[in-house]
C-alpha cells in the first residue's frame, strides 16, 4: 500500500493502542519526534522500531528538530548539549573556513546521535536570514545575518548530516527571517518589496536548492501573494520556490497545527496540497487533529512520490569519520569563541 503524504507526531514515549491502529490503517509516509517522545536512548530506539513496524516499512523516515541551542529535542543527560547556529556564525566571523568546518562537524555529530537511534531526518539547517525588527523565533537559530554567510554555512551543515547517513530539511522556505511574529501563535505578514526579498531572503534557499527536502514558512509576503502564506500559496510555490529558486526536492509544510493557518484541519490540509506541497506535517500528536488531517491527505503519487523516494536515497550510508575525533575537533573550534 502506498503511503499517505503526511508526517505525523505522536503523544508520548510509546505508541498507544489507538495510535498503533491508526498508523497501521492510514500508513503515513513518516513520523516526527518531539521532547515529549524522548526519554532514554533505548526508549527512542524502541519507539522508532515500533513506528516502522506499525506501517510495515523499514525505511519510513523518522524526523526530529535537532539544531542545538533552544531547539534540541534530545537533551542531557543522555545527549550532549549543542550550540545554536549563531555560534557557528561566530566562528565564521573569525575564520570562514573554520566556521564551515564547525558547521559540518556539528551536523556530523547530530548524525552520529540520531542514526544509532533510528532517526533518519534532521530538520536543519535554518536558512532564514534575520532582519532588524524580526521576531526572535529565529534569533540565534540563524547561521548569520547575511545571505552569503547563511549560504556558506548551510551547505556544510547539510553535507555533515548526509555524510552520517541522515537527510537534511532546509527551512523555512522562502524565508522567515524578517517575520515580525511567531508563526506558531499568529500569522506573520511581511510587506517587504520583492526585489529586497530576492536580494536578502531568497539566496540561501536558491544556493541549496539541490537538497532533498525543504519546509515551508507560514508567512504572508504581500509582494508575492497578499492573500495566502507561502505554505498555501500556489503562486509562491510554483513561481518562487520551484521556478525561481529551482527547488525540485520534497516540499513539506511547516506544522499544520500552528496558529498562523486558518480554517479547520481538513481545510488547512486541502489548502496545503492545492498549493503544491508534497507532504503535510502534523506535529502535536492530538489524535482528533491527526485524523482530520489524514482524512484530507492523498496517497503519495506522481511527482510527489518521485520526490519522496529520491529524498530517502543515502539514508544510512555513512562515511568513515571517527566520532571521538569529530567531537574533539568540534570542541577545539568552539574554544575560538569568547566566553559568555
From the centroid of its chain, how far is CA 333? 25
Q: How far apart are CA 29 and CA 242, in angstroms?
A: 22
Measured distance between the N- and C-terminal CA atoms of the chain, rounded to whole angstroms:
53
Outline where 116-187 has alpha helix (H): 147-163
Question: Active site residue: 65, 225, 254, 255, which one?
Answer: 254
Please give the backbone phi and psi of residue 197, each rounded to the nearest 5 degrees, phi first. Answer: -60, -40
Strands 71-72, 66-68: pairing kind = antiparallel
Given a contact cutoff of 8 angstroms between Cβ atoms, the answer to whether 307 and 17 are in contact is: no
254 is catalytic: yes
Q: How far apart are CA 130 and CA 316, in angstroms?
A: 33
- Counting DSSP H helices and E strands in the chain, the numbers are 12, 13
Q: Alpha carbon of 10 to those of 22, 33, 34, 38, 209: distances in Å?
A: 11, 7, 9, 11, 30
HSE of 77, CA atoms in CB hemisphere, 13 A? 0
Give me the torsion for CA of 93, 98, 103, 109, rounded to 10°.
-140
Given a contact cutoff of 8 angstroms between Cβ atoms, the answer to whether 141 and 222 are in contact is: no
Question: Active site residue: 95, 148, 184, 264, which one?
Answer: 184
Please give the backbone phi and psi of residue 298, each rounded to the nearest 5 degrees, phi first. Answer: -80, 165
Q: Alpha carbon of 292 to those of 17, 91, 127, 185, 289: distances in Å?
A: 18, 45, 31, 21, 5
Q: Which residues does the annotation mark as catalytic?
A: 184, 254
Amino acid at each position: 500500500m502506498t503511503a499517505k503524504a503526511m508526517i505525523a507526531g505522536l503523544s508520548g514515549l510509546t505508541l498507544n493502542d489507538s495510535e498503533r491502529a491508526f498508523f497501521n490503517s492510514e500508513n503515513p509516509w513518516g513520523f516526527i519526534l518531539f521532547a515529549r517522545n524522548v526519554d532514554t536512548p533505548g526508549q527512542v530506539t524502541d519507539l522508532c522500531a515500533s513506528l516502522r513496524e506499525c506501517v510495515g516499512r523499514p525505511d519510513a523516515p523518522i524526523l526530529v528538530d535537532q539544531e542545538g541551542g533552544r531547539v534540541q529535542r534530545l537533551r542531557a543527560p543522555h545527549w550532549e548539549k549543542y550550540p545554536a547556529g549563531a555560534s557557528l556564525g561566530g566562528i565564521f566571523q573569525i575564520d570562514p573556513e573554520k566556521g564551515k568546518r564547525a558547521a559540518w562537524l556539528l551536523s556530523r555529530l547530530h548524525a552520529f546521535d540520531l542514526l544509532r537511534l533510528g532517526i533518519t531526518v534532521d530538520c536543519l539547517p535554518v536558512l532564514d536570514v534575520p532582519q532588524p525588527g524580526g521576531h526572535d523565533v529565529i534569533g540565534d537559530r540563524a547561521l548569520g545575518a547575511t545571505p552569503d554567510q547563511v549560504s556558506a554555512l548551510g551547505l556544510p551543515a547539510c553535507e555533515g548530516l548526509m555524510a552520517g547517513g541522515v537527510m537534511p530539511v532546509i527551512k523555512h522556505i522562502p524565508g522567515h527571517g524578517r517575520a515580525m511574529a511567531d508563526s506558531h501563535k499568529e500569522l506573520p505578514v511581511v510587506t517587504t518589496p520583492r526585489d529586497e526579498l530576492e536580494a536578502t531572503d531568497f539566496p540561501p534557499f536558491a544556493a541549496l536548492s539541490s537538497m532533498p527536502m525543504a519546509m515551508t514558512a507560514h508567512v504572508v509576503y504581500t509582494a508575492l501573494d497578499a492573500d495566502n502564506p507561502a505554505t498555501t500559496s500556489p503562486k509562491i510555490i510554483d513561481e518562487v520556490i520551484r521556478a525561481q529558486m529551482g527547488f525540485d526536492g520534497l516540499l513539506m509544510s511547516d506544522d499544520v497545527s500552528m496558529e498562523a493557518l486558518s480554517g479547520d484541519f481538513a481545510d488547512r490540509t486541502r489548502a496545503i496540497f492545492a498549493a503544491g506541497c508534497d507532504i503535510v506535517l502534523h506535529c502535536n500528536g492530538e489524535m482528533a487533529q491527526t485524523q482530520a488531517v489524514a482524512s484530507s491527505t492523498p496517497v503519495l503519487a506522481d511527482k510527489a512520490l518521485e520526490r519522496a523516494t529520491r529524498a530517502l536515497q543515502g539514508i544510512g550510508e555513512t562515511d568513515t569519520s571517527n566520532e571521538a575525533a569529530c567531537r574533539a575537533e568540534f570542541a577545539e573550534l568552539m574554544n575560538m569563541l569568547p566566553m559568555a
